[in-house]
């Protein structure tokens, strides 16, 4: 996580660092502090803007080296666009873009002056906090396995900034606004670490153990081992990991944050935690198989979400469950044609051992419903390549049994920029999952692979439980890079689910 980097807040009167960024609205509209610096430096900002034809358009930047009489080595001017026209997420993205501009040259500290005079929906302090979150998300990198060599001027050295000081009129208010945003960023970066970690380091046991880090935030954690899952009848989940020398686990995280109401039904998140997926006996091709260390991206999203909810003390009851397995071929591996019995009692014919994630989710979904009687269940999984054929790496696929739940998730998607596209649940897809030898089979043939996978999962969802399945195979790992994510493991889904909870399921303080 980006614990090496911190965002702090200071008053506008504080002396800026030798690397400083300013904000400029469209038409080169400057705030009071920026105007003061421009004037003191004999119009260096105005002159540089004119020379570069910089007009303050959103996310555009110019850099002024050693402006006169300021004691500043680099002055970066970042465009805000039209007055009051930006959404919260656009300010977050702007923060990432500004930090990227700062990181173009080495520095250990930098200042950002937020002296906006806006008529929009956000105060200067809220804008400062949102920009700070974007910087925190942008700063993340995963370079723990690089060994630094003498004289190496690598990218690892370029990320040397340790502190961003955001100057704003009321720093205490900005700090308070930043606290929940920092919690969400920490959850995202925690999830990124999990996805980026190689599978030889992060096995099923280790992934489950990572959830214990949430105990310090007040989350109750329980880890079920193989014997406990055998006793529960989780034959579907356990068959996936039986070919691996590393035992499977089920990690359960419980956050009882609803004030005065531990009995309030929780929202429930379920994640696929396949730490490495060879495909098993139905083995994958060698090309690109190294990316299958990220096949636990759904589990990472759930863990990161629970982290964020707990750190910001979300006023909600929530449960996160992740099934942690490794899918390996061996003399003990599940075979195509095997029939296993799930915790629900339904029998499953395994047609393809590379359709393993749904076998894990089937039992975790059932356990979640039976144990916690949730008000809704959302599962997240890097489930199918088919969803990438349909939606590329920009969108995750959303399947939902309940229109209200779907609308709430789509609203959170629009707010955060973590894009969802609703896909169909249809009886025709369900019919394709009928088996000649068991209650259900785990693949439905070549066509509509993401939709038939969702149809399989729906068989393990009780009729009165609103349920959604998010297939994030294209977005959780090696997705599209942007202003707030330059990482292979994106931590995708944490901001989406946190916003979903905040907007629709946190109990009002009133």
The catalytic site residues sit at 284, 358
How far is CA 301 from its chain centroid?
5
* Per-residue tokens: 93: 């993205």
Sequence-distant contacts of 65-70: CB under 8 A, at least 24 apart: 67/37, 67/41, 68/41, 68/42, 68/44, 69/40, 69/41, 69/42, 70/37, 70/40, 70/41, 70/44
Taking the C-alpha atoms of residue 324 and residue 304, their distance in angstroms, rounded to an integer, is: 15
**b/e 33-49 (16+ beta carbons within 10 angstroms → b):** bbeebbeebeebbbebb
d(CA 318, CA 377) in angstroms, rounded, equals 10
In this structure, what is the dihedral angle of CA atoms 400, 404, 410, 412, given to the nearest 10 degrees? -120
Q: Which residues partner with 251 through β-bridges? A: 223, 322
Q: What is the distance between the alpha carbons of residues 254 and 428, in angstroms, rounded to a whole number?
A: 36
Q: In sequence order, what E strands does 70-150 have?
A: 74-81, 109-113
What is the Cα–Cα distance from 486 to 466, expressed in whole angstroms?
A: 34
Residue count (the chain): 510
Is-contact 361 480, C-beta < 8 A? no
């Amino acid at each position: 996580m980006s614990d090496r980097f911190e965002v702090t807040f200071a008053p506008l009167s504080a002396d800026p660092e030798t690397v400083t960024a300013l904000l400029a609205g469209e038409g080169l509209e400057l705030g009071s502090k920026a105007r003061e610096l421009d004037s003191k430096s004999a119009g260096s900002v105005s002159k540089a803007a004119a020379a570069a034809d910089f007009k303050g358009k959103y996310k555009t930047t110019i850099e002024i080296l050693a402006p006169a009489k300021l004691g500043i080595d680099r002055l970066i001017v970042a465009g805000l666009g039209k007055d009051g026209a930006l959404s919260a997420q656009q300010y977050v993205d702007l923060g990432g873009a500004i930090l990227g501009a700062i990181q173009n040259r080495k520095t250990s500290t930098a200042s950002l002056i937020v002296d906006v005079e806006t008529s929009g929906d956000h105060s200067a302090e809220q804008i400062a906090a949102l920009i700070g979150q974007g910087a925190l998300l942008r700063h993340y990198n995963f370079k723990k396995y690089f060994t630094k060599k003498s004289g190496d001027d690598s990218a690892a050295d370029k990320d040397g900034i340790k502190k961003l000081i955001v100057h704003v009129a009321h720093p205490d208010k900005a700090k308070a606004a930043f606290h929940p945003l920092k919690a969400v960023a920490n959850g995202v970066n925690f999830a990124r670490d999990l996805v980026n970690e190689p599978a030889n380091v992060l096995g099923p046991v280790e992934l489950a153990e990572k959830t214990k880090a949430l105990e310090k935030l007040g989350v109750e954690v329980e880890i079920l081992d193989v014997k406990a899952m055998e006793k529960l009848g989780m034959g579907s989940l356990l068959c996936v990991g039986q070919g691996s020398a590393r035992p499977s686990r089920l990690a359960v995280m419980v956050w009882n944050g609803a004030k005065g109401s531990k009995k309030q039904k929780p929202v429930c998140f379920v994640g696929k935690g396949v730490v490495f997926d060879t495909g098993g006996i139905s083995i994958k091709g060698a090309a690109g198989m190294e990316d299958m260390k990220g096949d636990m991206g759904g589990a990472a999203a759930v863990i990161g979400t629970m982290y964020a909810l707990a750190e910001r003390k979300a006023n909600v009851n929530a449960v996160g469950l992740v099934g942690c397995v490794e899918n390996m071929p061996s003399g003990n591996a599940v075979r195509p044609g095997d029939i296993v019995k799930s915790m629900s009692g339904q029998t499953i014919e395994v047609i393809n051992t590379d359709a393993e994630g749904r076998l894990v989710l089937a039992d975790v979904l059932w356990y979640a419903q039976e144990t916690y009687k949730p008000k809704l269940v959302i599962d997240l999984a890097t489930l199918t390549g088919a969803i990438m054929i349909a939606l590329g790496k920009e969108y995750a696929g959303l399947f939902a049994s309940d229109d209200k739940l779907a609308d709430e998730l789509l609203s959170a998607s629009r707010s955060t920029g973590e894009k969802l596209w609703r896909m169909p649940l249809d009886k025709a897809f369900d019919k394709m999952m009928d088996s000649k030898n068991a209650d259900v089979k785990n693949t439905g043939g070549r066509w509509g692979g993401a939709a038939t996978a969702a149809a399989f999962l729906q068989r393990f969802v009780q009729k009165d439980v609103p349920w959604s399945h998010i297939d994030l195979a294209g977005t959780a790992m090696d997705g599209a890079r942007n202003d707030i994510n330059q990482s292979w493991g994106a931590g995708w889904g944490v901001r989406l689910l946190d916003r979903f909870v905040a907007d629709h399921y946190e109990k009002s303080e009133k």
